[in-house]
Amino acid sequence: MATSATTSAPLIEKHTIGYVPPEDRHGKVRDLFTLWFGGNIAPLPIVTGALGVQLFHLNLVWGIVAILVGHLVGGVLMALHSAQGPQMGIPQMIQSRAQFGSLGALLVVLIAGVMYIGFFASNIVLAGKSLHGVVDSVPVPVGIVIGALGSGIIGIIGYRFIHVLNRIGTWVLGIGIVIGFGYILTHIQTDDFLTRGSFNLSGWLATVSLAALWQIAFAPYVSDYSRYLPANVPVAATFWTTYLGSALGSSLSFVFGAVAVLATPVGMDTMDAVKLATGAIGPLMLVLFLLSVISHNALNLYGAVLSLITLVQTFAYRWIPTAKSRAVISIIVLLACCFAAVGASADFIGHFVDMVLVLLVVLVPWTAINLIDFYAIHKGQYDIGSIFQVDGGIYGRYNPQALLAYAIGIAVQIPFMNTPLYVGPVSAHINGADLSWVVGLLVTSPLYFWLATRDSAYRRRLTSGKLAGSL
């Protein structure tokens, strides 16, 4: 579905965190499929998918089953967030003010911003190493800067350019990974390709969790890339195009990593295994993956900048951020990440990624609260004006019900966590399977619904003011 604004929309995005008015809406709902399919054909999901057989010792069949189950389940949550974009016309993080209050949302926005910056810094290191692997004469630090600049240009241009690149990337990377699968499966270098590993419940659950958490990690910014679509785009269409693109693209990359590892001798690094397993087409695959890292990392920069703008605008509420503001903050973030990535050791970046993975634990209850509030309580109807008021308008500065449910949602996950920084007792008892996200969702969702609907002041807010957007 497109509007007359589609062809006239400027290449450089002029909006930041503000409401996108109807006259500026553009794009087609199918663009969400290409964005999330192309964006997930990349080295990081390939490396993550290989863990099912490398770390958790599943065989190929059970590894694939776990990967599919995790992405199909986690993708539901991710796509439900995406469907909010056309209805609200604002970024995901600033929408959180309607659930937590103008000041209560700050913690979640800060956590999301740190996560984006962490992924951006880590990916530019990966881009630098990938470029060095393709062209030996390019030092890793130079590759880091080149990768960061590429992602920075894409992120500064913004929404429309990101979608355009991923439409192209879907075809190029999709064909590339299919050819890669074909080459690997016809050039298997091991005798235990189908027999290495076996089913074990803890490993299977851990692999399911990895895949599900991969999808949930997109939740804080997925609707940022659907908010320009016309408000009359059906919720179901937004959901299914996002869901199918993300689940299919991620599953292909995860399975590709598992297949490459099983097709090569035990103990190889995943990307080395990919290079060896793809043989003659290996250099081409590495080039495609390098381009994918640069393109997809623009989303991390874009999300980080919107989060930072949201944080500043909470206090400087008279400030109206423009495209120039977004460009300046993008450059600051880019330079800071380049400085840290070039000057830091590999171990430092690894520890930074570990911290980012821990932050996912605190995003799970946010996901539950946001979805319950949007679909079950407000049913898509919000007062957009109040969201941008310094005192939160009808939503207030704090929502005690949301903050209480959020805190409890984090606390109940702790015994079930398995992160590089902390392993909970329940997770340790079941050989490392991380079920914290399941517990967090199952506890937070009904708790928040009960707390919110029993509060008379909160019920009055449902009918106060002029509501904008509806399902």
Q: Residue 352's pLDDT is what? A: 55
Token reading at 33: 């499929």
Q: Is residue 12 part of a domain?
A: no
Residue 280: give its domain's CATH number: 1.10.4160.10
Closest CA relative to residue 324, chosen from 158, 124, 118: 158
Q: Is residue 161 part of a domain?
A: yes
Q: CB under 8 Å to 159, separation ≥6 — which residues? A: 13, 224, 225, 228
Radius of gyration of the CA atoms of the chain, in A: 22
Q: Residue 458's pLDDT is what? A: 58
Q: What is the arithmetic mean of pLDDT over 451-459?
A: 72
Between residues 354 and 73, the one the model is more confident about: 73
- The count of C-alpha atoms lying within 13 angstroms of the C-alpha of 185, restricted to the half-sphere facing its C-beta, is 10
Between residues 7 and 249, the one the model is more confident about: 249
Angle at 412 between CA 307 and CA 212, to 5 degrees: 60
Q: What is the arithmetic mean of pLDDT over 413-431?
A: 83
| 35-44 per-position pLDDT tens digit | 999 889 988 8
Cα pseudo-dihedral 151, 155, 161, 163, rounded to 10: 90
How many folded domains does the chain comprise?
1
| 78-137 per-position pLDDT tens digit | 999 999 999 999 988 889 999 999 999 998 888 888 888 888 888 888 788 778 877 888
Q: Is residue 350 part of a domain?
A: yes
Percent residues over pLDDT 70 in the chain: 91
Q: What is the arithmetic mean of pLDDT over 371-400?
A: 90
Q: Which of 360-369, 402-411, 448-457 reaches the highest mean pLDDT?
A: 402-411
The mean predicted confidence, pLDDT, of the chain is 86
Q: Please determine, for residue 11, whether its predicted confidence score (pLDDT) is greater than 50.
A: yes
Enclosing domain of residue 75: 20-462
For residues 83 and 237, is the Cβ–Cβ distance under 8 A?
no
Q: What is the arithmetic mean of pLDDT over 50-68?
A: 93
CA 429 to chain centre: 30
Q: Is residue 469 part of a domain?
A: no
Q: Is residue 3 part of a domain?
A: no
Task: List 439's β-bridge partners, or say none.
Answer: none
Q: Is residue 268 part of a domain?
A: yes
Q: How far is CA 6 from CA 25, 254, 302, 466, in A?
A: 7, 34, 21, 29
Q: CB under 8 Å to 114, separation ≥6 — which residues? A: 356, 359
Percent residues over pLDDT 90 in the chain: 36
Q: Is residue 186 part of a domain?
A: yes
Q: What are phi and psi of 193, to 5 degrees?
A: -55, -45
Q: Is residue 7 part of a domain?
A: no
